[in-house]
Amino acid sequence: MTDVSTERMPTIAERLADGEPAASAADPVTFVIFGGAGDLAHRKLLPALYNLQLDALLPPRVAIIGAGRGEMTDEQYRAFAKDGIEHFSRRPLDPHAWETFAESLFYAGVSIGDANALTTLGARLDVIEHERGLPGNRVYYLAIPPTLFVPTVRDLNQARFINRAADSPFGRVIVEKPIGRDLQSARQINDALAAVFDERQIYRIDHYLGKETVQNILVLRFANSIFEPLFNARHVDHVQITVAEEEGVGTRAGYYDQAGALRDMVQNHILQLASLVAMEPPRSLEADVIRDQKLEVLRSLRPITGDAVATCVVRAQYAPGFIGGVPAAGYVSEKGVAPNTRTETFVALKMFIDDWRWAGVPFFLRTGKRLPKRASEISVHLKRVPQILFNADPRSPLDPCILSIRIQPDEGFAFSINSKVPGTRARVYPVQMDFHYGSTFGGSTPEAYERLLLDVMIGDTTLFMRRDAVEAAWQWVMPILDYWSTATAMPLPTYDAGEWGPPEADRLIESSGRSWRQL
Amino acid sequence: MSDRFWRPSTLDAIEHDLAALWREVTKEGPVARAIMSNLVVVRTPRSQWPERRVGVSIDAVAAQHPSRVVIIDHESIATGAPGPTGARVGVALFGPPQARYAVEQIAVHSAGLDESLPSLVRRLVRGGLPISTWWAEDCSEAPLIASILEMGRQLVYDSRRWTNIERGVEVIHAWRHLDLADVNWRRLVAMRRALVVAAAGEPMDWSPDTIRIAHDADYRAQAWLLAGWLASRLDWPPHVAPRIEAAADPNTVLSVTIGNGERTVRVNCDGRRVVVMHPGRPPSTIGIPIEGEADAVSAELHSLSHDVRLHDALSALHRIFSAS
C-alpha cells in the first residue's frame, strides 16, 4: 500500500510555475564578468544580456558586475555597456528597457593574482547582493585570456567565492575556448577547474553550439522521419563540413599564431558539429544523455597517426591575394605574426567514424581563413542511384541528393533532388527544396550568446562541452599536431587569399572521386 | 517595409494569375517564396479591418510568419446571394536586396451565406499546410463565422478587444477544441511569472477571498484571465472569483494584491515592467518583452500547440460566469 503521507504536495509557486515558459526557472543571480571591460563583453556579452532583458528572460532580480583591470565608475561602465549595445545589439536600444538594465550594471576593478583585490570585490558583491535582495547565486564568466583561467579560479577559491557543489545558492563558472593548446594543458585547466568546481558547475562555452542552425541539427534528425533512416553508411556516401572565414587573423595574431586552424576550429567547433551529425539518437533530451552520445562519436573517431597524417590531412597558409576584388596581404605579412611562422591558416582532412552506423563513410572537414567568403555548412551527400533508368548515361551521371545545413550566414537547410524538366524529353535537372530561417520565421534570431547565457542561469548544460568531450577531442587531434611538430622539413603549402584552399585540399577529396561542394 | 504588387483576378484564374505575378516579381532578381501556413483573414463590411481598427497590418505579420494569406471580404446575406464577386492576387516582398523573400496574398469579395465560405477557402488554401484563422475583431460583439473556424487548426484572437468579457469567454470557450492563441494571454506572461515569484516568497493565503485584482480600462480582460488562471492552477472551488476592480492608481495598469494588513504582497504592473513587493524585502522586477502587435500575432502564429494553461483558465472563467 502506498504511504500517501510521504508524498509532498506541490507548493503554490510550483503549481503556478507548472507549464509556464522555462525562463521562469532562472533564479535571481549575480553575474560577474572577469574581463568585463574587454572586447567580448562589449561586443557580445552585454548586448546578449540586454537582449535577454528585452525578452524579459533575465531573472526578476539580477546584478551584472563587470570586473576588469582598469578603474571605472559604475556610470562609466554603464556608458561602456550602452555603447556596446548601440553598436552590436541585434535590436536597437529601447530607453525604458535600458533604464531597467542599467540599474543592474556595476563595475569593480580587479587584478588577478592579488588576493586583496578579490577580497575587495567580494565585499562589493556582498553589498550589491544585500541591497538588491540577491540570494548569492553567482555566475563567473571568465572572458579573459586562457593563461589567466587557472590563476583566476585559484584566486576565486582562496577568496572563498565558490560554494562547491551547492545547489542553493549556486556558483557556476563559464570558460571560453580554447581549453588548452594541447591535451596536457587542457587537462591542467580542467584539473584546476575540478579542484574548485564540481563538473556540473562548469560551463565550457562553444558559441557555435548556441547557433539556431546547430541546435536544429538534432531537430532535423530526430523530429522528422525522412532523414534519420538515411543517416548511415547504407545511404550516405560522404559528409562534408566546411567552416570558411573571409577575414584574416586581424587583431588575434598573437593568439592565432600560437594556435593555428586545427586548434582554433577543428578541435572544438568542427568536431562538435561532426558529433551532432553523427551521434546516435539519445534516449532523452537531458543534458548528459545528449553529451554522452556526442562523446561516443568523438571516441569512435579513427585516429590519424604517423604517415597517415600526410595523406589524410592538408594544412596550408594563405599568401597574398584578393578578397572580393580587394588586395589582401599574406599571413606572414600580418601584424603580430612571426616572420618564419609555420602556423596553418587552413586545414582539410578526411576522417572516419569507426562505429556501426558510419563504417566506411568518409567525413571531409575543411576550415580556413581568407577564403572567398564566410560560410559554414554541413552537407550530407547521399549515394547515387544505380546507373540505370535516368542515370544510365555514364557521361552525364545524375547529381546525388544532398542535404545541406547552412550554419552561417543565411541559416537554413536545403535538400537537392532531381526533377523532370517540363517538356517532351526525359530530361532531369537538380532542384532544391530550400528552407531559410530568415524568410520563414522572420524577425531577428537570437544570438548564440543569448541562448547560452540563459542556459547557464537556468542550469542547463546541454549546449556546453563536458570535460571528457574536450579531452577526447584533444586526444584525437594530438597525433596530427605531434606529426606536424616533427615534420618541420615538409614544405607548407600556400593558397592565395580568396581561394578555397591549396590544390592539395582538392586532391585530398578528388582522389576518392568526390569534390568539395561549391559554397 | 514591403513592396507589394497586386493585380485583379477572378476566382477561376487566381492560381494562374498568381503564378504569372511570381514570375514577374522574380524577373528583377532572386526572391525566395516563403510559406509556412495558410492564414485566413475574414473581414466584414463593418470592421474596416485591420489597419485602421486594430493597428496591425497584414504585411507586418506576413513578414514574420510567411503564409499564403487568404483575405475574405465577406458580407453575410441570408438568401439569394451571388457568392464571390471579385478577386485580387498580390505578392508582398520583404528583406534586403540580397535576401529578398515574398509571400502571396489572395483577396476575395464574397456576398452570400456564411455556409458558402468553406468551399471558397478550401479552394484557395495550399494543401499540406496548417490553416490559422486570425480573428482580429471583437468576437464578444460580432459573431464568429463557424464554418470558417471549423476548417482551421488554430484560432488567433485578442481578448483585449472584448467589450463584453463574459460573452467573449462564452464564445471562445465553444472553440476550445482548436489551438486557441490569445494575444492578450501572451501579454500576461510577465505578470504570471511575477506571481510565481510572489508565491515563492514566504507562505501566504492564496484563497480567492484574500486576492484583489485591479486594472485600468484596457486591462480588464487581462484581469479576468489572471483570475481564471489562478482559479485553475490553485483548484479554487468552482464559481468563486477574487475581487476584480478598477485601479485607483493612474500609474497602475494591472495589479494583484495577496493577503491583508502587514503581510500583503503586491504585484504591480505599469505596462513596462512588473514589480513584486514583499514586505521587508527588496522588490523583484520582471521586464515586459518589448513586442509590437504584429510581433505578438506572428509569434502566436508560430506556435502551433494546445496552450493547456490558457484553455484551463478559460474553462475556469466559463464556470465562474456560468454560475453567476
Above 80 in pLDDT, residue A474?
yes
Check if the beta carbon of residue B278 is closer than 8 Å to that of residue B201: yes
Nearest to B11 by CA among B148, B151, B147, B117: B117
Q: Which of A64-68, A484-488, B278-282 has the highest mean pLDDT?
A: A64-68
Average pLDDT over residues B142-168: 88
Residue A270: band (very low, low, confident or very high) from pLDDT cuts 50, 70, 90: very high
Question: Taking CB atoms and an 8 Å limit, are A434 and B281 in contact across chains?
Answer: no
> What residues of chain A have any CB closer than 8 angstroms to a CB in chain B?
11-13, 15-21, 23-24, 28, 53-56, 58, 60-61, 91, 94, 96-97, 100, 131-133, 410, 434, 436, 438-443
Q: In angstroms, what separates the C-alpha of B284 from chain A's closest C-alpha?
A: 5
Q: Summarize pLDDT for A334-370 with one digit per residue, the tens.
A: 999 998 899 999 999 999 999 999 999 999 999 999 9
Phi-psi region of A96 (alpha: psi -120 to 50; beta: other; left: phi over 0): alpha
Share above pLDDT 90 across residues of chain A, in percent, rounded to a whole number: 58
Q: Which of A133, A436, A441 sits opposite B282 (nearest CB)?
A: A133
CA distances from A22 to A216, B189, B277, B298 (A): 19, 11, 23, 20
Average pLDDT over residues B18-36: 85
**Cβ-Cβ contacts under 8 Å, B276 against chain A:** 60
- Between chain A and chain B, the number of residue pairs with CB atoms below 8 A apart is 105
Angle at which helix A183-196 crosses helix A467-486, to 10 degrees, equals 150
Above 80 in pLDDT, residue B160?
yes
pLDDT confidence of residue A442: 64
Question: Taking CB atoms and an 8 Å limit, are B285 and A439 in contact across chains?
Answer: no
Integer Cα distance of A139 and A125 in angstroms: 12
What are the catalytic residues of A? 269
The label of the residue with cell 583566476 reads: A152
> Over chain A, what is the mean pLDDT?
89
pLDDT confidence of residue B97: 82
Q: Which of A19, A20, A132 sits opposite B193 (nearest CB)?
A: A20
Above 60 in pLDDT, residue A441?
yes
Average pLDDT over residues A429-450: 79
Above 70 in pLDDT, residue B49?
no
- CA angle, corner B124, sides to B120 and B125, nearest 5? 120
Return the bridge partners of A241, or none: A365, A378
Nearest to A196 by CA among A225, A222, A163, A226: A163
Q: Which chain A residue is nearest to residue B194, measuring alpha carbons?
A: A60
Above 90 in pLDDT, residue B181?
yes
Q: Helix, strand, or coil here: B100? A: coil
Above 60 in pLDDT, residue A23?
no
Above 90 in pLDDT, residue A333?
yes
Q: Helix, strand, or coil here: A440? A: helix
Q: Which of A11, A56, A436 sits opposite B287 (nearest CB)?
A: A56
Average pLDDT over residues B93-115: 85
Q: Summarize pLDDT for A350-359 with one digit per residue, the tens.
A: 999 999 999 9
Question: Taking CB atoms and an 8 Å limit, are A20 and B196 in contact across chains?
Answer: yes
Beta-carbon contacts of residue B88 (< 8 Å; ≥ 6 apart) = B6, B7, B8, B9, B106, B107
Q: Where are the domains of chain B?
A: 3-152, 183-324
Chain center to CA of B223: 17
Question: Taking CB atoms and an 8 Å limit, are B195 and A16 in contact across chains?
Answer: yes
Question: Taking CB atoms and an 8 Å limit, are B101 and A133 in contact across chains?
Answer: no
The residue among A127, A431, A440 with the most chain B CBs within 10 A of its CB, best to mutate, is A440
Question: Taking CB atoms and an 8 Å limit, are A15 and B234 in contact across chains?
Answer: yes
Above 70 in pLDDT, residue A5?
no
> What residues of chain B have any CB closer than 8 angstroms to a CB in chain A?
32, 34, 36, 63-66, 94-95, 99, 101, 189-190, 192-197, 199-200, 203-204, 206, 230, 233-234, 272-273, 276, 281-290, 295, 298, 302, 308-309
Of B22-26, B52-56, B84-88, B296-300, the one with minimum mean pLDDT is B52-56
Q: Which chain B residue is nearest to residue A97, measuring alpha carbons?
A: B287
Question: Taking CB atoms and an 8 Å limit, are B281 and A133 in contact across chains?
Answer: yes
Above 90 in pLDDT, residue A141?
yes
**Cβ-Cβ contacts under 8 Å, B286 against chain A:** 56, 60
Q: In angstroms, what separates the C-alpha of B77 from chain A's closest C-alpha?
A: 38
How many Cβ atoms sit within 10 Å of the Cβ of residue B111?
A: 16
Beta-carbon contacts of residue B58 (< 8 Å; ≥ 6 apart) = B41, B50, B69, B71, B105
The whole model's pTM is what?
A: 0.80
**Cβ-Cβ contacts under 8 Å, B193 against chain A:** 20-21, 23-24, 56, 60
What single string gives the DSSP state of each residue in A320-380? Answer: SEEETTEEE--GGGSTT--TT----SEEEEEEEB-STTTTT-EEEEEEESS-SS-EEEEEE
Above 80 in pLDDT, residue B43?
no
pLDDT confidence of residue B8: 93
Question: Taking CB atoms and an 8 Å limit, are B189 and A21 in contact across chains?
Answer: yes
Integer Cα distance of A386 and A244 in angstroms: 33
Q: Which chain B residue is nearest to residue A28, measuring alpha carbons?
A: B284
The residue among A12, A444, A450 with the most chain B CBs within 10 A of its CB, best to mutate, is A12
Of A208-217, A297-306, B171-180, B223-232, the one with minimum mean pLDDT is A208-217
Q: Which chain B residue is nearest to residue A22, measuring alpha carbons?
A: B193
Average pLDDT over residues A221-229: 93
Q: Which of B64, B233, B289 sits opposite A16 (nearest CB)?
A: B233
Residue A22: band (very low, low, confident or very high) from pLDDT cuts 50, 70, 90: low
Q: Which chain B residue is nearest to residue A100, measuring alpha carbons?
A: B287
